[in-house]
Amino acid sequence: MAETLAQKIVARAAGRSSVEPGELVTCRVDLAMLHDSGGPRRVAPILERLGVGLWDPSRVVLVSDHYVPAVDPESARILDLTRRWGRAHGVARHYDMLGICHVVLAEHGHVRPGMFVVGGDSHTPTAGAFAAFAMGVGASEMAAVLATGEIWLEVPETLRILLDGRPGPGVVAKDVLLALCRMIGLGGAGYRAIEYGGEGLAGFAMEERMTLANMAAELGGITGLVPPDRRTLAWLERAGVSLGEAELTRWRSDPDAPVAATLRLELDRLAPQVAAPHGPANAAPVDEVEPVPIDQAYIGACTGAKLVDLRMAASVLRGRKVAAGTRLLVAPASARVWREAAADGTLATLTEAGAIMLPSGCGACAGYGAGVLAEGEVCIASTARNFKGRMGAPSSRVYLASPLTVAASAVAGRIADPRPLLAERREPEPIGEEAARVG
């Protein structure tokens, strides 16, 4: 029987030859990821009450990325607890202040096609860019996974999203997702696996595919999936993982596999998007959004501060300055992104334009540490969410956009379309292979 990619991965994890949507199955977990915010401080008391330890520390990855670096005694206490817990339980793969968990997993080759991954964070589907079935869970479920190595699952249907054509200038993966949030609605995908496809998908770099998979969470999908191709294998090779080309055919949906629904998005008709407060579904083309003056522009988070994202911002900011009265904050997604952006001149371009560099980590995206907003302030950010009060004071307002649009807005001092600035420079839009060279 023809199966979707999601069915194939779940069947392998369940030790079955096949599974059907709606079935309840028990899956063996290949990798469990937890971080300092929802990790040890939440799961340790549960495991202690149960009187159990970790089923397999070698399959656990621990990342300190939310409270880093500590800005007060409570943050320091949480980080200390995380470190001590990791050592006590033999978790060798503890990435302490080295970057955002979803980016760190990919950089270190911890996710690959066909894996079944569970993470203590709602944006765990990021790993689906590498054709892994990755889903976020709460502390109780994570404790059960850590104790047993298993989790029960209702096999999801698949929502297929086909990307047709090629994006125009100024349009990147973040714009695709904001447009989808508007079309489907926040959580509108329901309990489904979201699988991306179409001819337009091939043009997106792996970092951009990570953004596509990541924001499946905003659409309501249990996971986001991108079938592997040679670009996937090349990324994994650089991360120290060598896979044969047989994986390219093994981990993809059968051509006639039934899906719940298919949605098409014509990339060449898409404009840069901006989501108004207080939700990603409040998206509209940038030229239909009021040019609201901004106090802060923020380039950070797992959706907006990878190397490709910083290069996008640099392509707009090169030779320009951040507007007076506006602050541009940039928090690279990982230590590796810092190194590579410093080596290729991207960081110099950003700082020469007036950007203020912040440590790698989740930071202001979730209202932690530096970069939070005061009462009444307006911010445009490359983050995934703009719920009321998420980035600071309840009366602050956050708009969402791509790194290109955030950078253009920083230059203008108000919400602005990046396309005129890109056209002045006559540079190619930073998509796919071009993105890897911008900067």
Asked if pLDDT for residue 72 goes beyond 60, the answer is yes
> Please, what are the domains in the chain?
5-267 (3.30.499.10), 274-437 (3.30.499.10)
Across the range 325-338, mean pLDDT stands at 97
What are the phi and psi torsion angles at 266 (to 5°)?
-85, 105
Give the mean pLDDT of the chain: 94
With contact defined as beta carbons under 8 Å apart, do 150 and 26 qualify?
yes
At residue 431, the pLDDT reads 45
Distances (CA, A) of 344 to 50, 237, 302, 338: 50, 21, 21, 10
> Percent of the chain scored above 90 by pLDDT?
90
Residue 435: pLDDT band by 50, 70, 90 thresholds? very low
pLDDT digits (tens, 9 = 90+) for 291-303: 999 999 999 999 9
At residue 391, the pLDDT reads 87
Q: Which of 127, 135, 276, 132 is nearest to 217 (CA)?
A: 135
Q: Residue 381 and residue 65: Cα distance in Å, rounded?
A: 19
With contact defined as beta carbons under 8 Å apart, do 54 and 60 qualify?
yes
pLDDT digits (tens, 9 = 90+) for 155-165: 999 999 999 99
Residue 364: pLDDT band by 50, 70, 90 thresholds? confident
Task: Indicate the range of 119-123, 321-325, 369-373 predicted with least confidence.
Answer: 369-373
In the chain, % helix, strand, coil (3-state, to 5) comes to 40, 20, 45
Asked if pLDDT for residue 71 goes beyond 50, the answer is yes
94-96 and 60-64 beta bridge pairing: parallel
Residue 426: pLDDT band by 50, 70, 90 thresholds? low
At residue 366, the pLDDT reads 80
3-state secondary structure of 225: strand
Asked if pLDDT for residue 280 goes beyond 90, the answer is yes
CA angle 394, 277, 215 (to 5 degrees): 110
> Percent of the chain scored above 70 by pLDDT?
97
Q: Residue 171 and residue 33: Cα distance in Å, rounded?
A: 32
pLDDT digits (tens, 9 = 90+) for 128-155: 999 999 999 999 999 999 999 999 999 9
Decide which of 284 and 434 is more confident. 284
Residue 234: pLDDT band by 50, 70, 90 thresholds? very high
With contact defined as beta carbons under 8 Å apart, do 155 and 19 qualify?
yes
With contact defined as beta carbons under 8 Å apart, do 95 and 6 qualify?
no
pLDDT digits (tens, 9 = 90+) for 39-61: 999 999 999 999 999 999 999 99
AA identity, residue 70? A
Neighbours of 49 (CB within 10 A): 9
Asked if pLDDT for residue 429 goes beyond 80, the answer is no
Residue with tokens 């506006």: 326
Residue 348 carries which DSSP code? Answer: H
Neighbours of 342 (CB within 10 A): 12
| Strands, sheet with 296-299, edge to edge from the N-terminal-most edge strand | 283-285, 273-275, 397-400, 378-381, 296-299, 327-330, 356-357
Asked if pLDDT for residue 438 goes beyond 70, the answer is no
Across the range 173-192, mean pLDDT stands at 94
Residue 439: pLDDT band by 50, 70, 90 thresholds? very low
Asked if pLDDT for residue 94 goes beyond 60, the answer is yes
Residue with tokens 């991954």: 117
Q: Residue 82 and residue 253: Cα distance in Å, rounded?
A: 39
Decide which of 84 and 370 is more confident. 84
133-136 and 150-154 beta bridge pairing: unpaired
Q: Residue 219 and residue 281: Cα distance in Å, rounded?
A: 9
Q: Which of 411, 413, 384 is nearest to 399 (CA)?
A: 384
Decide which of 369 and 51 is more confident. 51
At residue 388, the pLDDT reads 87
